[in-house]
Amino acid sequence: MLVPPLNYSMVDIGIFRCSRLDAINISFLKSLSLNTILWINEEKPPRAIRHFIEEHDIRIHHMTTSGTVVEEDINVEAQEWMVLKPRIVSEAIEVLLNVDNYNCLVVDTSDVIVGVLRHIQRWNYSAILNEYRVYANKTSYRAEIYLELVRVELVEPLSCPSKTEEDPVLHSESTTAVSPGAPAAAAPPEAVRATAICTTLSGSSLDGGAPTERETSFLACKIAGTE
């Protein structure tokens, strides 16, 4: 019998989500043909899940919600309100934007990393909040404020080639709106490989301003190390 994990759903092509995994879910997990599990939880996966991961040669990225180094330019007090710290967000988003990790299952006890991803996809806050409330194991006012304040900027590294006509993804400045609840259009796979990203997080203001030309929709981002 196939038993989906708690709060299971498809996030986008190649990305799935849930709030927890138990041994009873293993038969269902086999049907997903997973390459990667992004585990955002203070605890390690249960023994049965660890055995399943090893048996099927699945990559696992384990990130704890509190075990992260405070960034040099942000003091401890400034990070207290954050459900997920900037370093975790940066590492998690890099995993999710790398097509080599697909199919990827996100197991997130904070239930907010998909909401951060939706910001990159240019979903509006109402749509992000509605999705959070549907799939959150237990809704949190603090998490809702976090999803409202969080700002993620995708930055081209200094070593990245300048924008050219031959690079349609970087050259494009399209600001096509994404309908609430609808995923962003996927770019060709070859356009999702090449340069690095750096995600930065700030929450000092509700005024995020207009998207910069370096911000881009979800699958149009480029990732290092996948050439």
Quick: pLDDT tens for 145-195.
Answer: 889 888 877 776 555 444 444 443 333 333 333 444 444 444 433 333 322
Which range, of 20-29, 73-82, 99-108, 136-145, averages the lowest pLDDT? Answer: 73-82
Which range, of 30-39, 75-84, 156-165, averages the lowest pLDDT? Answer: 156-165
Amino acid at 141: Y
Residues 40, 113: contact at Cβ < 8 Å? yes
Residues 45, 22: contact at Cβ < 8 Å? no
Percent of the chain with pLDDT over 90: 44
pLDDT of 152 reads: 79
Per-residue pLDDT at 106 exceeds 90 = yes
pLDDT of 111 reads: 87
pLDDT of 226 reads: 32
> Average model confidence (pLDDT) for the chain?
71
Per-residue pLDDT at 218 exceeds 90 = no
- How does pLDDT run across 41-59, given as a tens digit for each residue? 888 999 999 999 999 999 9
- Give the pLDDT band of residue 7 (cuts 50, 70, 90): very high
Give 52's DSSP letter: H
Per-residue pLDDT at 117 exceeds 70 = yes
pLDDT of 157 reads: 56
Give 159's DSSP letter: T
- Give the pLDDT band of residue 224 (cuts 50, 70, 90): very low
Residues 173, 216: contact at Cβ < 8 Å? no
**Which of helix, strand or coil describes residue 201?**
strand
**Which of helix, strand or coil describes residue 12?**
strand
**Which of helix, strand or coil describes residue 226?**
coil
pLDDT of 110 reads: 86
pLDDT of 6 reads: 92
- With a CB cutoff of 8 Å and minimum separation 6, the contacts of 45 are 21, 37, 39, 53, 60, 62, 107
Domain regions of the chain by residue span: 9-220
Q: Which two tokens stand for residue 158?
A: 């200094």
Superfamily (CATH) of domain 9-220: Protein tyrosine phosphatase superfamily (3.90.190.10)
> Could you tell me the pTM of the whole model?
0.66
pLDDT average, residue stretch 19-35:
95
